[in-house]
Amino acid sequence: MLLWIGTIGMLLGTVAFIGLGLRAPAGSRYFYVITALITLIAFLSYLAMATGAGQTIVGDRVFYYARYVDWVFTTPLLLLDLALLALARPGRNIGLIGGIIVLDIVMILLGLWAGATAGGGRYVLWFLSTVAMVALLYIVVTRLFAAAESQTPAVQSVFKTLAVLTVILWSLYPVVWLVGAEGFNAIGQTGEVAGFLVLDLLAKVGFGFLLLTNRQALSDIAGAQRQSASSRVS
């Protein structure tokens, strides 16, 4: 039931983002494509889990590995949205963007490995994954916040809202993991599914709405890019 709510929520998000994208401010359509892709991937992952696929038995619990397939693609795309908002010249910051994304993929893969492990060693892997998360959120808060200072007020404001939302929501994932079935099992399998459901809907659909309904910020970015492209030509 909860997994079906996730499936429908992600589908509605995808349809809404595509609809908004049809009326996107000129030159900003890529934000709509990236964000709709995030909810589309999550829709497929929730559909797999709701229909009984994407799961296996580890020890005495069900392990939904489909989540990690979703996250390994969608978390880099969320970070890409943030980086493209903060950085006036993303092309000149490939190292920074790549570094954040590599840390993110390491975080998800260590989490997948932790979840697939039955013994106590999974807590070591959980810890290493959390270290990667703290490092990547630290870079977002320092480097991307500093870079965003040179953007227009509308872009700065939406970037700050989304970055704070990201830091808060992402920090709760390892907590749900730890109290859920993968960890100490204090809230049980259902509690864990519910916890990740709320976080996934806020971090993907909530995030997407805040970003894609902010037409002023998106047209500022598209305008600035047109200007820097024409100044390079002349």
Contacts with ligand RET, residue ranges (CB under 6 A): 71, 74-75, 78, 107-108, 111, 114, 126, 129-130, 133, 170, 173-174, 177, 200, 203-204
Determine the Cα–Cα distance for residues 112 and 99; give it in Å rounded to an integer.
20
Helices 153-179 and 66-86 pack at an angle, to 10 degrees, of 160
- Can you give 78-144 as a three-state secondary structure string? HHHHHHHHHCCCHHHHHHHHHHHHHHHHHHHHHHHHHHCCCCCCHHHHHHHHHHHHHHHHHHHHHHH
Minimal distance, residue 168 CB to ligand RET, in Å: 11
- Rank residues 26 and 33 by Cβ distance to ligand RET and give the closer one: 33
Minimal distance, residue 38 CB to ligand RET, in Å: 7
Cβ 178 vs Cβ 12: under 8 Å: no
Instruction: Give the number of C-alpha atoms closer than 13 A to the C-alpha of residue 210, restricted to the C-beta side.
Output: 23
- Rank residues 72 and 154 by Cβ distance to ligand RET and give the closer one: 72
Minimal distance, residue 35 CB to ligand RET, in Å: 11
Q: Judging by beta carbons within 10 Å of its beta carbon (0-12, 13-18, 19+), is residue 216 exposed, middle or buried?
A: middle
Minimal CB distance to ligand RET: which residue?
Answer: 111
- Rank residues 128 and 224 by Cβ distance to ligand RET and give the closer one: 128
- Rank residues 54 and 111 by Cβ distance to ligand RET and give the closer one: 111
Three-state DSSP class for residue 231: helix
Minimal distance, residue 23 CB to ligand RET, in Å: 25
Minimal distance, residue 185 CB to ligand RET, in Å: 15
- Rank residues 20 and 114 by Cβ distance to ligand RET and give the closer one: 114
